[in-house]
């Protein structure tokens, strides 16, 4: 039975698109980048593009293929889901990657396409589609994490602009970002209905201070961000005042959909865990992993990972064109976190003491990377909404379980 995506376009048209996409990639993708993983680079460090990396980003961004299904009038590719799937297959076939990403693509852009004014979309979406601008997210606060609706960062109405004062924390990539989408309080008398969605055009504006937070993995992608009398023009309000909770939760669905694959914690884990196990633990006479118990756990993990990957692909293929992510992304996010963390735990166990190295001689680069992947992986079940919060969403919005008074 044909998938929904395969019904978008006749087979001969899709085949023609495949041939054209393959030829375009062959002509534009630099061979020096073959096999490179862009990962979550938009929030993992400053932009230090090589000439080939920039050329590839400019080519993909100019074509609109960095965001293949976004409307072409805003700089997207305007492709059908079937064509976008073919494009992904051809990129993989060429050992290429999508150089356009980050929070603008995976969270803010889709949300603005749904809630933004025409002027806001034309002002912001093309830059995101080209990969020219980095966005960060101003949501969590020191006293408003899981209970995000308790946020206190206040935007005072000053006629033609808001004056913003307050603090955000866990601002991913804040030290490298150009702009910020943020939830602020515009009404102190109401909790959820007092929240609005604002856009900060310049993370280097007067009154904005960013302080990186060091993590146990040795990396600092998160920040504290302070706002002191920061002016934000009224035209940067998305939706209406008091609609921020609705818009913000919709954005989180897009985020959880993007994070379902486990995020950056699985980066560098291209080698199957079964091969890693054989390298470190050895094989029996039949070429199987010698440790039977470990062999069974590795097999179960690889089955879970494969089933999860297929489920993600099926969900993407079956999504209706006028329907974005749903509450079901909470299920995907939780499963993706579990699969990612299990992989990291198995890697450390398999490598033994070699999987716990931090620096110095006696460790390979892969072993040192494994240590950091394992430590960073602890955050996967927290960022984007903790697993406990996702369980609440699943219980209430999918299973229909209501709180009992």
Residues in the chain, total: 405
**End-to-end CA, the chain:** 46
Contact assessment for residue 67 and residue 100, using Cβ atoms and an 8 Å cutoff: yes
Indicate if 255 belongs to the active site: yes
pLDDT at 315: 67
H helices present in 71-179, as ranges: 81-93, 103, 109-115, 118-130
d(CA 240, CA 250): 15
* pLDDT tens-digit series, residues 299-330: 999 999 989 888 877 766 555 444 556 667 77
Give phi and psi for 147, each to the nearest 5: -95, 70
Contact assessment for residue 130 and residue 77, using Cβ atoms and an 8 Å cutoff: no
Contact assessment for residue 272 and residue 224, using Cβ atoms and an 8 Å cutoff: no
Map residue 258 onto helix, strand or coil: helix
Nearest CA to 242 out of 325, 317, 326, 155 is that of: 155
Q: What share of the chain is helix, strand, coil (3-state, %, to 5)?
A: 50, 15, 35
Helices 329-351 & 292-318, crossing angle to 10 degrees? 150
pLDDT at 3: 42
* Spacing of C-alpha 12 from chain mean position: 33
pLDDT at 11: 59
pLDDT at 221: 81
Do the bridges between strand 179-185 and strand 135-138 make them parallel or antiparallel, or are there none, so unpaired?
parallel
pLDDT at 254: 75
> Which residue ranges in the chain fall short of pLDDT 70?
1-12, 37-47, 256-270, 315-327, 402-405
pLDDT at 264: 41
Active-site entry in 53, 83, 255, 367 = 255
Distances in whole angstroms, Cα of residue 62 to Cα of each of 33, 65, 329: 18, 8, 30
* pLDDT tens-digit series, residues 333-361: 888 889 989 999 999 999 999 999 988 88
pLDDT at 321: 41
């Amino acid at each position: 039975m044909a998938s929904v995506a395969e019904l978008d376009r006749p087979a001969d048209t899709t085949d023609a698109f495949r041939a054209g996409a393959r030829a375009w990639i062959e002509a534009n993708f630099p061979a020096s980048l073959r096999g490179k993983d862009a990962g979550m680079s938009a929030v993992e460090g400053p932009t230090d593009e090589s000439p080939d990396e920039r050329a590839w980003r400019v080519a993909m961004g100019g074509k609109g293929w960095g965001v293949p299904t976004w409307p072409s009038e805003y700089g997207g590719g305007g492709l059908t889901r079937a064509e976008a799937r073919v494009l992904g297959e051809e990129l993989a076939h060429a050992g290429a990657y999508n150089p356009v990403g980050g929070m603008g693509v995976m969270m803010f852009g889709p949300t603005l396409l749904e809630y933004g004014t025409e002027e806001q979309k034309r002002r912001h979406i093309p830059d995101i589609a080209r990969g020219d601008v980095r966005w960060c997210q101003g949501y969590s606060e020191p006293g408003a994490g899981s209970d995000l609706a308790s946020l206190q960062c206040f935007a005072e109405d000053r006629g033609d602009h808001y004056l913003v004062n307050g603090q955000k924390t866990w601002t991913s990539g804040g030290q490298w970002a150009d702009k910020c989408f943020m939830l602020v309080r515009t009404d102190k008398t109401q909790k959820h209905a007092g929240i609005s969605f604002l856009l900060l055009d310049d993370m280097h504006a007067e009154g904005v201070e960013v302080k990186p937070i060091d993590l146990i993995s040795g990396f600092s992608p998160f920040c504290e961000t302070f706002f002191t009398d920061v002016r934000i023009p009224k035209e940067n309000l998305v939706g209406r005042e008091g609609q921020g909770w609705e818009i913000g939760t919709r954005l989180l669905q897009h985020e959880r959909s993007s994070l379902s694959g486990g995020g950056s914690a699985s980066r560098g884990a291209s080698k199957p865990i079964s091969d890693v196990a054989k390298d470190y633990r050895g094989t029996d006479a039949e070429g199987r992993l010698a440790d039977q118990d470990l062999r069974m756990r590795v097999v179960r993990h690889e089955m879970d990972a494969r089933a999860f990957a297929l489920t993600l692909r099926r969900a993407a293929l079956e999504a209706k064109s006028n329907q974005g992510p749903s509450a079901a992304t909470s299920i995907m996010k939780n499963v993706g976190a579990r699969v990612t963390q299990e992989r990291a735990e198995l890697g450390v166990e398999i490598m033994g003491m070699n999987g716990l190295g931090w620096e110095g001689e006696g460790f390979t680069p892969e072993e040192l990377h494994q240590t950091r992947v394992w430590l960073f992986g602890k955050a996967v079940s927290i960022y984007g909404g903790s697993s406990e919060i996702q369980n609440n969403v699943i219980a209430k919005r999918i299973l229909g379980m209501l709180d009992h008074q």
